[in-house]
């Protein structure tokens, strides 16, 4: 009589294919191997994905800047590059303990987010990050242009954009919509250059300091308005609220004030 085979793997393989034990063990092993492969691929691809996202954002920024009148010449004079700064939104100053390299990790911590009260949450975000990465074009100590990432709720979902503000921090130089879920043919027209073309030269605040920017219901009729989109009133309201939030005291307001006072 042949001796008992104590090798568990050979004993498993020797079981008939109809064996419930064999089926369960093989299924478990296949699942475990697949999980390890997926996890490994995620770890290996994460730096590539992060780099691709950064490259896409830089491409959008470059495209935005090129479409702002006179910006090409200014970039050439300044060496053709924008400086990147991580801002502490509460103080409006450059963050001392967060860099562009550590920002993503910092924002993965819920402690670095601020819950917004219903009355102040114009953009409908619920929470606002404590830090934001912005881009500045300088001529010596003078800031010529600030590129500010903004986000808010539209009709179909979240809208992400980058707003370019001139050095006076009260005149919009341009806008680039980077992500949205608005209705095709209606609210989705916010990504059209023809609509975005109404932003340059629009003022944010009146002489008293009150934010007056808004998306008109039709054609803009004041220095504080941009053209509305027919049939997309709720999308326009979302843009209005998004801009008012981020350019106000709970967004970039402290930064804007510091730049206007020459303290940044």
DSSP string spanning 12-58? HHHS-TT-HHHHHHHHHHHHHHHHHHHHHHHHHHHHHHHHHHHHHHH
**pLDDT digit of tens for each residue in the chain (264 aa)?**
455 556 776 776 677 777 777 788 778 888 888 887 777 766 666 667 666 766 676 676 666 666 665 556 656 655 656 788 999 999 999 999 999 889 989 999 999 999 999 889 999 999 999 999 998 988 888 888 898 999 999 998 999 998 989 999 999 988 888 889 888 888 888 988 888 889 999 999 999 999 999 999 888 999 999 999 888 999 999 999 999 999 999 999 999 999 999 888
The total of other beta-carbon atoms located within 10 Å of residue 234's CB is 16
How far lies 216's CA from each of 117, 131, 165, 196, 227, in Å? 27, 31, 20, 13, 5
Residue 120, SS3 per DSSP: coil
């Amino acid at each position: 009589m042949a001796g008992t085979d104590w090798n568990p793997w050979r004993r498993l393989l020797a079981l008939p294919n109809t064996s419930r034990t064999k089926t369960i063990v093989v299924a478990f092993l296949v699942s475990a191997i697949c999980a390890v492969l997926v996890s490994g691929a995620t770890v290996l691809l994460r730096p590539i994905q992060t780099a691709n996202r950064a490259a896409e954002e830089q491409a959008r920024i470059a495209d935005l800047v090129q479409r702002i009148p006179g910006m090409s010449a200014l970039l050439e004079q300044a060496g053709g590059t924008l400086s990147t700064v991580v801002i502490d939104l509460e103080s409006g100053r450059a963050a001392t303990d967060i860099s562009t390299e550590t920002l993503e990790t910092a924002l993965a911590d819920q402690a670095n987010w601020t819950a917004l009260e219903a009355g102040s949450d114009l953009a409908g975000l619920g929470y606002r990050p404590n830090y934001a990465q912005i881009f500045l074009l300088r001529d010596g100590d003078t800031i010529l242009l600030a590129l500010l990432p903004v986000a808010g709720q539209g009709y179909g979902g979240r809208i992400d954009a980058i707003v370019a503000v001139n050095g006076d921090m009260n005149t919009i130089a341009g806008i680039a919509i980077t992500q949205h879920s608005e209705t095709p043919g209606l609210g989705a027209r916010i990504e059209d250059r023809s609509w975005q073309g109404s932003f340059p030269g629009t003022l944010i605040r009146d002489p008293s300091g009150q934010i007056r920017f808004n998306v008109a219901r039709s054609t803009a009729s004041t220095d504080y308005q941009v053209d509305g989109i027919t049939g997309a009133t709720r999308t326009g309201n979302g843009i209005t609220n998004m801009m008012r939030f981020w350019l106000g005291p709970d967004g970039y307001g402290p930064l804007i004030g510091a730049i206007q006072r020459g303290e940044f």
